[in-house]
A and B are shown apart, each in its own frame.
Chain A
């Protein structure tokens, strides 16, 4: 084969490869836009004041989803209240205290593995451990504890990563001023790492808000007359509401179900976008 022919062939291969790979990337974009567009298109018609503030009627075929939203908000806040302190302290341990040895490696391995445990298995664990063994019954508390186990690896990893970004001499500057290690961590290192920690945590919590499997047996119910009145109360939840409508309400009302899906996705996306914007704003201020 002559040199020019080889070059021409390489060019052709380059072109084809670009096309094929580009088509794959484009198909991912197309699917994402389709998902987004489909939810918005079918759900937007349901969104009005009544829908957001009324209780469901006729098993959800009519009325609104107010208690459903409230249930998801409560559960997610409960999860945040449990996950954030524990996850951040665990991240601090890994980044600031953990020795470099096999136990630390085992802890890291446990964390990656926790992230891979199927959500339905967390559901089983929550049922056995929190609902039954701990005696919390099917409740917001049991569900929040279950979601906490599921979200912890995300928060721990985000915290550790963010703490590692903080330059070492910042810690030394604080120690050199006579601050203890603990004071250095909570006055200097944690504030400096806050953007990363908070962004990662919000992403994890947003995912928890959309989970169905872990709350199936730990406290979510299909119908409730009141909004939850305490941590031991059962609750309705957006993702479970969608599932229950589709699978156990004959003649379910598509407009309202898509509306529910839109509220859920919009809430999750809004939280993620806000976290992203906040982080880049902080980045501009804090550059090492």
Chain B
């Protein structure tokens, strides 16, 4: 199935149609890229680190995961594309669905899931190959071989991650020659190139300077019309600026697992939180 992509006329940062309508209807029958978590728990070996997380991640919005260091944000994020499977000795309990489809059972192939749910890491980590090959890596994994199709895709995704203008004349250049911020936007393009429904971002700007951070935030803002974004961040201002929903997690002691304190519209969470612990965390009293 060929999935056409449209570029906005100004060459800017928006993918106007990531998937065609037929595909959308066929797979999801409506909005796509929404997670629903029910009583999710995670244990590393015998160490139970997360328990009882129930929440809904809406489609085509930015959801921020916040909480003190070590409370399991990255761990929860990895549940959403089953990357925990790769760590060995990790047990995930409860139920997680993507667009109503169970993603934890045997019926879901993790490989297929990961093509629908992309990930961007904390440290910019392009593959040691050219810019073009980095972006084309995912599509090639999916079996796309046609040169023109790949070029179109690479251009479209680099535009949506706002990197195209900077690299359009040097696609053959080694990815390591880019700056840190450019590398991170390349990693976003790489994740977008498999045309995912969701992108998971684990502190994507924490290794970057303020200007690069700004560019990443702009990219995220432009992307959310077409993909669902779940982002982990330690930066409260950032969460407030870019997210629509915010979920606050907390691990009160090392003996007890972490849990979800509350989740809601970002505006309300930051102005009028229900839980006092949320308020103290947001105002910087702990964590």
List residues of chain A with CB under 8 Å of any chain B CB. Answer: 167, 169-180, 183, 187-188, 191-192, 285-287
User: Considering the chains assembled together, what is the distance between the CA atoms of A110 and B59 in angstroms?
Assistant: 54
Contact check: which of B113, B125, B138, B141 meets A167 at CB < 8 Å?
Answer: B125
Contact of A173 with B142 in the complex, beta carbons under 8 Å: no
User: Considering the chains assembled together, what is the distance between the CA atoms of A228 and B56 in angstroms?
Assistant: 73
14 A-B pairs besides A175-B83, A176-B83, A187-B137 with CB distance below 8 A are A169-B122, A170-B127, A173-B127, A177-B115, A177-B118, A177-B141, A178-B138, A178-B194, A188-B137, A191-B129, A192-B127, A192-B128, A285-B128, A285-B176
Contacts A176-B83, A177-B190; A286 near B128 (Cβ below 8 A): yes
List residues of chain B with CB under 8 Å of any chain A CB. Answer: 81, 83, 86, 111-115, 118-119, 121-123, 125, 127-129, 137-138, 141-142, 174, 176, 187, 190-191, 194
Instruction: Determine the chain B residues whose CB is within 8 A of the CB of A170 once the complex forms.
Output: 125, 127
User: Considering the chains assembled together, what is the distance between the CA atoms of A170 and B134 in angstroms?
Assistant: 12
Instruction: Determine the chain A residues whose CB is within 8 A of the CB of B138 once the complex forms.
Output: 177-179
Most buried by A among B112, B128, B194: B128
User: Considering the chains assembled together, what is the distance between the CA atoms of A173 and B81 in angstroms?
Assistant: 12
Contact of A183 with B121 in the complex, beta carbons under 8 Å: no
User: Considering the chains assembled together, what is the distance between the CA atoms of A286 and B121 in angstroms?
Assistant: 19
Contacts A169-B121, A188-B127, A286-B128; A175 near B137 (Cβ below 8 A): no
Contact of A191 with B141 in the complex, beta carbons under 8 Å: no
Contacts A177-B118, A178-B111, A180-B111; A172 near B142 (Cβ below 8 A): no
Instruction: Determine the chain A residues whose CB is within 8 A of the CB of B127 once the complex forms.
Output: 170, 173-174, 188, 192
User: Considering the chains assembled together, what is the distance between the CA atoms of A191 and B112 in angstroms?
Assistant: 25
Most buried by B among A178, A188, A285, A287: A178
User: Considering the chains assembled together, what is the distance between the CA atoms of A169 and B124 in angstroms?
Assistant: 9
* Cross-chain pairs A/B with CB under 8 angstroms, 25 sampled: A169-B121, A169-B122, A170-B125, A172-B83, A172-B119, A173-B125, A175-B114, A176-B81, A176-B83, A176-B119, A177-B118, A177-B138, A177-B190, A177-B191, A178-B111, A178-B112, A178-B114, A178-B141, A178-B194, A179-B138, A188-B137, A191-B129, A285-B128, A285-B176, A287-B176
Min C-beta distance of A98 to chain B, whole Å: 12
Instruction: Determine the chain B residues whose CB is within 8 A of the CB of A176 once the complex forms.
Output: 81, 83, 114, 118-119, 191
User: Considering the chains assembled together, what is the distance between the CA atoms of A285 and B129 in angstroms?
Assistant: 10
Min C-beta distance of A187 to chain B, whole Å: 7
Instruction: Determine the chain B residues whose CB is within 8 A of the CB of A180 once the complex forms.
Output: 111
Contact of A169 with B128 in the complex, beta carbons under 8 Å: no
Min C-beta distance of A61 to chain B, whole Å: 53
Instruction: Determine the chain A residues whose CB is within 8 A of the CB of B141 once the complex forms.
Output: 177-179, 183
Contact of A177 with B194 in the complex, beta carbons under 8 Å: yes
Contact of A286 with B81 in the complex, beta carbons under 8 Å: no
User: Considering the chains assembled together, what is the distance between the CA atoms of A136 and B119 in angstroms?
Assistant: 54
Instruction: Determine the chain A residues whose CB is within 8 A of the CB of B125 once the complex forms.
Output: 167, 169-170, 173
Residue of B nearest to A171 (CB): B86
Min C-beta distance of B264 to chain A, whole Å: 28
Min C-beta distance of B39 to chain A, whole Å: 25
Instruction: Determine the chain A residues whose CB is within 8 A of the CB of B113 once the complex forms.
Output: 178
Min C-beta distance of B102 to chain A, whole Å: 18
Min C-beta distance of A193 to chain B, whole Å: 9
Contact of A173 with B187 in the complex, beta carbons under 8 Å: yes
Min C-beta distance of A279 to chain B, whole Å: 14
Instruction: Determine the chain B residues whose CB is within 8 A of the CB of A178 once the complex forms.
Output: 111-115, 138, 141-142, 194
Residue of B nearest to A183 (CB): B141
Instruction: Determine the chain A residues whose CB is within 8 A of the CB of B129 once the complex forms.
Output: 191
Residue of B nearest to A195 (CB): B128
Min C-beta distance of B228 to chain A, whole Å: 15
Instruction: Determine the chain B residues whose CB is within 8 A of the CB of A191 once the complex forms.
Output: 128-129
Instruction: Determine the chain B residues whose CB is within 8 A of the CB of A183 once the complex forms.
Output: 141
User: Considering the chains assembled together, what is the distance between the CA atoms of A286 and B83 in angstroms?
Assistant: 26
Instruction: Determine the chain A residues whose CB is within 8 A of the CB of B86 once the complex forms.
Output: 171-172, 175
User: Considering the chains assembled together, what is the distance between the CA atoms of A187 and B128 in angstroms?
Assistant: 10
User: Considering the chains assembled together, what is the distance between the CA atoms of A170 and B119 in angstroms?
Assistant: 12
Min C-beta distance of B80 to chain A, whole Å: 11
Instruction: Determine the chain B residues whose CB is within 8 A of the CB of A167 once the complex forms.
Output: 123, 125
Most buried by B among A170, A177, A191: A177
Q: Which 5 A-B pairs have the closest CB atoms?
A: A178-B115, A176-B119, A177-B138, A178-B114, A192-B128
Instruction: Determine the chain A residues whose CB is within 8 A of the CB of B119 once the complex forms.
Output: 172-173, 176
Min C-beta distance of B108 to chain A, whole Å: 12
User: Considering the chains assembled together, what is the distance between the CA atoms of A175 and B114 in angstroms?
Assistant: 8
Min C-beta distance of B121 to chain A, whole Å: 5
Instruction: Determine the chain A residues whose CB is within 8 A of the CB of B142 once the complex forms.
Output: 178
Min C-beta distance of B144 to chain A, whole Å: 12
Residue of A nearest to B128 (CB): A192
